[in-house]
Amino acid sequence: MKFKSAVLTFFALLLAVSVRAETVTAAGDPWPPFIDPNDPDGGVAVSLAREAFSRSGFTLEMNIMPWARAIDGVKNAKYDVLIGTWWTKERTEFLDYSEPYLTNEIKFIKRKGDPFEYNGMDSLTGKSVGIVRGYGYGDEFLNATNFKRPETADFLPNVKKVVSGRVDLTLEDELVARSQIAKEDPGLIDQIEFTKNALSANTLHVTCGLANAKHEEIIGALNKGMAAMKADGTFDQILKKYGMK
């Protein structure tokens, strides 16, 4: 009887370990310092999410790809989560959102010397604003009809278009923009300026597709882990590592 009990206990423990060792697959585009394929730890957003998931026994596997493919992959449950997602009403129809964990200030980028300042949608009248396909800039911006929004797959080509005069403006979180330009084409930074006023302050979330049968479990684990990290100081320690605290 003792032997049988020991065997049952062993298999119960083995099952528990196998369940707790489950991998959460993440998708996203290069978006330093939040998602950075050149950072051994993956960037600040990846580091935060990895630690949060580990509190519930999950491991995180990050996959880098264009944003449009990443969001489609999570929407259709090919991947489990998007690490850095802005909230839009449209996305709530197919994504389960975590609690917000950071905030991005989205500012316009212009050629150096351009006197333009953003003062609401009317100030964009007649402009050409380069955007990244699939990004959640907000319904008011995306539905406005008084300016053009040519699309690219990634952010940096839009900056080059601004410098060359092919578009008037582009936009991105200033910290993200400076980090990506410094790493990929540092000569561009002296040829551009950021507006003082932001289009929006967007909260950053981890999201899981509603088509994923485990979306509630996955987002619940993330929220629980983030709360624990904030309580014990780990959250702030990771931010300090990236100069964000």
Residue 33 and residue 11 share a domain: yes
d(CA 27, CA 71): 8
What's the whole-model pTM score? Answer: 0.72
User: Which residues are CB-neighbours of 19 under 8 A, at least 6 positions away?
Assistant: 57
Pairing of strands 102-111, 192-209: antiparallel
Residue 84 and residue 9 share a domain: yes
Residue 177 and residue 213 share a domain: no
Task: Show pLDDT as tens, one digit a residue, over the chain (245 residues).
Answer: 444 454 445 554 445 444 446 999 999 999 989 999 999 999 999 999 999 999 999 999 999 999 999 999 999 999 999 999 999 999 999 999 999 999 989 999 999 999 999 999 999 999 999 999 989 898 999 999 999 999 999 999 999 999 999 999 999 999 889 988 988 899 999 999 999 999 999 899 999 999 999 999 999 999 999 999 999 999 999 998 887 77
Q: How many domains does the chain have?
A: 2
The answer to whether residue 94 sits within a structural domain is no
User: Which residues are CB-neighbours of 233 under 8 A, at least 6 positions away?
Assistant: none
The answer to whether residue 66 sits within a structural domain is yes
What distances in angstroms separate CA 63 from CA 36, 133, 186, one per listed residue? 11, 18, 26
The answer to whether residue 135 sits within a structural domain is yes
The answer to whether residue 93 sits within a structural domain is no
Residue 167 and residue 198 share a domain: yes
Query: For residue 214, what are the domain limits?
Result: 2-88+204-241
The answer to whether residue 55 sits within a structural domain is yes
Residue 198 and residue 107 share a domain: yes
Residue 212 and residue 179 share a domain: no
Q: Taking the mean position of all CA atoms in its chain, how far away is CA 64?
A: 12
What distances in angstroms separate CA 24 from CA 53, 74, 141, 218, one per listed residue? 8, 11, 33, 8
Phi, psi of 170 (to 5 degrees): -140, -175
> Which one-letter amino acid corresponds to residue 217?
E
Residue 229 and residue 188 share a domain: no
d(CA 129, CA 194): 14
Residue 112 and residue 170 share a domain: yes
Residue 166 and residue 214 share a domain: no
Residue 114 and residue 24 share a domain: no
Residue 139 and residue 57 share a domain: no
CATH code, domain carrying 135: 3.40.190.10
Residue 180 and residue 115 share a domain: yes
Q: Please spell the DSSP secondary structure of 145-196, one letter per residue.
A: -SSB--EESSSHHHHHHHHHTSSSEEEEEHHHHHHHHHHH-GGGGGGEEEEE
The answer to whether residue 232 sits within a structural domain is yes
The dihedral sign for the CA sequence 118, 146, 105, 170: negative
